[in-house]
Amino acid sequence: MSFAGLRPDLALIAQWIEPGARVLDLGCGDGVLLDVLQRERSVRGYGVEIDDAALLACMKRGVNVIQANIEKGLSMFGQGRFDVVVLSMAIQATHQTEQVLAEMSSVGAQGIVSFPNFGHWYHAVSILRGRMPVSREMPYQWYDTPNLHLSTPADFEQLLTKLGLRVLQRAFLANGKPVIAMAALRATQAIYRFARV
C-alpha cells in the first residue's frame, strides 16, 4: 500500500482509514485523498468543497464532491452515516471551529483532523524576535492569513475533551517526517483521530 505521492499528513490519514470505509472529506481541495483511498482502499465517500477550481479538480478526478460551506452546517450529511469525517489542514481557518468539530463527530463515527502546530519552537523564537511566524505550514503574513484559530496539540486536546470527544490516535510531523520526542515543540503538524466518549 503506497500513499507516497500524498502530502505527508494526508498519507498518514490515509493509513488510518480502514478499507471499505465510508468517508466524508471536508474541505477536500482537489480530492486527492479520496481519489487515492477509492483506488487503493475501496473507500466510498464524498468530498465537500466551497472553492470552484477545487470542485472542478474533484470532478476531473472522478471524486464525488458536494459544493458547500462546511461552516453553514453539516446537517445535509445526516447523522452517523460515515465511518470517518476528515478535515485536513483547514480547521485553523474555520470561524465556527467548535461547532465544526462537534458536527464532525455527529456526522461520522470518527473524526480525523490535521492542523499546523502553532507551538513549534520556531514560532516562539520568531515571536521573541518581535515578528509573527511565517512557516511552511503557515506561509502567510499576519495581515493576509486565512488562519483564525491557531492552536497547539494541548489546546486541541483540551477542546476535544470539552466537546466530549476522546483521542483514539495522534501523530506529529516535522516537515513531513514523524516526530516522537518533544513533539509539542518540534512538530510542524499534528494529526488526531477521535470519537465520542
Partner 1 sequence: MLFHSGSEPQAVPVKAERLHFSEPLELAGGGSFLGYELVYESYGRLNAERSNAILICHALNASHHVAGLNEEGELGWWDNMVGPGKPIDTERFFVIGVNNLGSCFGSTGPMSINPSTGKPWGPDFPVLTVEDWVHAQARLADRLGIVRFAAVMGGSLGGMQALAWSLLYPQRLAHCICIASTAKLSAQNIAFNEVARRAIITDPEFHGGRFYEAGVLPRRGLQVARMIGHITYLSDDVMAERFGRLLRGREAGEAYRYTYDIEFEIESYLRYQGEKFAGYFDANTYLIITRALDYFDPARAFGGDLSKALAQARCRFLVASFTTDWRFSPECSREIVQALLACDLEVSYAEINAPHGHDAFLLDNPQYHQLLRAYAQRMASNLGLAA
Q: Which residue has the cell 460551506?
A: 69
Among 1, 52, 130, 180, binds partner 1 (CB under 8 A): 52
CB 50 to partner 1: min, Å? 9
**Residue 163 binds to partner 1 (criterion: CB under 8 A):** no
Among 59, 124, 125, 148, binds partner 1 (CB under 8 A): 59
17: cell is 482509514
CB 44 to partner 1: min, Å? 8
Q: Alpha helices of 62-152 — where are they, by DSSP H?
A: 97-107, 121-128
Question: What sign does the dihedral 47-50-30-187 (CA atoms) show?
Answer: negative
**Residue 177 binds to partner 1 (criterion: CB under 8 A):** no
Q: Which stretch binds partner 1 (CB under 8 A): 61-69, 147-155, 158-166, 172-180?
A: 61-69
Q: 181, 193, 121, 182: which is closest to 157 by C-alpha? A: 193
**Residue 60 binds to partner 1 (criterion: CB under 8 A):** yes
Rounded Cα distance between 32 and 151, Å, is 26
195: phi then psi, degrees, rounded to nearest 5 = -150, 170
Residue 80 or 146 having the CB closest to partner 1: 80
Q: Are 23 and 44 in contact (CB under 8 A)?
A: yes
Rounded Cα distance between 119 and 179, Å, is 14
Binding mask 71-110 for partner 1 (x = CB under 8 A): ----xxxx--x-----------------------------
Among 15, 18, 19, 56, binds partner 1 (CB under 8 A): 56
CB 58 to partner 1: min, Å? 8
CB 63 to partner 1: min, Å? 8
74: phi then psi, degrees, rounded to nearest 5 = -115, 20
Residues engaged in binding partner 1 (CB under 8 A) = 46, 52, 55-56, 58-60, 62, 64-68, 75-78, 81
